[in-house]
Amino acid sequence: MAKPLSASKLVEILRAEGLTVHEIRNWRTHNRNSKGPWGPMNGVMIHHTVTSGTDASVDICYNGYSGLPGPLCHGVIDKKGHVHMVGNGRANHAGLGDGDVLRAVVNETKLPPDNEADTDGNRHFYGFECINLGNGKDPWPEAQKEAIEKVSAAICRAHGWSERSVIGHKEWQPGKQDPRGFTMDGMRSRIADRLRSHKPGGGGSPEPPTKPRPAYEPFPGSAFFRAGRHDKRITAMGKRLVAEGCGRYEEGPGPEWTDADRKSYAAWQHKLGYRGKDADGAPGRASWDRLKVPASR
């Protein structure tokens, strides 16, 4: 589970991504941690402010207003693409949202409809408010959209997340429409491209193909595990499940995904404390990372 980034680390990675970052007043210790937990971190949430003007918007997000104290996010992204840091820790930005959406973000799978408000989002998401009236007419300058892309990519890179860990407020909480004026699928596509082709510190060169191999296999995605899939990573996964006392194989494990693999993985999910549909034997990112399947050499 991802620990929250420190204030210094957050500023460091944002500036390394080429962003102009302004530190507002006592933002490094400005939070709502006394009102609830902060972390583990699972994603980045994008909002629009429904305000205009940089100074006024930043002040509102820092101070909050009657009935909703600040900070109302962690950073404000203005129309020039500058980032104004206003909070570090729990912030009043996400509110209650759909637990099924949180599970999809954790597992980096397709988002379900947000039809419930049963889960505390302020605990799990970094929040960035983008200055826009949200009326469908106020423009989104390219510099501002590029800053959203950079902010999201920087945080995803720091935590080892993909673009699927970035969502809009409208995808989290029923009745919300922010951000309005661009699609989150389009923004996630931009973030994915940036994660593939840019290195921190600018210079859009791809990462060298000879970078060291990871010690463990990265999560190959939920679509990877389907009937008939034949891959040596499935064998390695099965061996780890056996080692954890979760093997349900009469023979094997082998390289083809079978019902025995699903039953074994369900036993692993139960061992981790998952229940119900979260323990159906379909691998998700969080449980896969904890299994620590050795990388192929």
Q: Quote the tokens at residue 270.
A: 């139960």
pLDDT in tens, 175-204: 999 999 999 999 999 999 999 987 775 444
pLDDT at residue 103, as a whole number = 94
CB 110 within 8 A of CB 29: no
pLDDT at residue 213, as a whole number = 56
Query: How many Cα atoms occupy the beta-carbon half-sphere of 77 within 13 Å?
Result: 26
> Measured in whole angstroms, how far is the alpha carbon of residue 247 from the centre of its chain?
31
pTM, to two decimals: 0.71
Nearest in space to 78 (alpha carbons), one of 54, 62, 55: 54
Q: Quote the tokens at residue 169.
A: 């407020």
How many whole angstroms separate alpha carbon 128 and alpha carbon 73? 6
Domain map (residue ranges) of the chain:
7-197, 222-291
pLDDT in tens, 212-251: 556 889 998 888 898 888 999 999 999 999 999 999 999 8
In this structure, which CATH number among 1.10.10.10, 3.40.50.300, 3.40.80.10, 1.10.10.2160 belongs to the domain 7-197? 3.40.80.10
In this prediction, the residues of the chain whose per-residue pLDDT falls under 50 are 202-210
pLDDT at residue 203, as a whole number = 45
Q: Are strands 83-85 and 68-69 parallel, antiparallel or unpaired?
A: unpaired
pLDDT at residue 201, as a whole number = 57
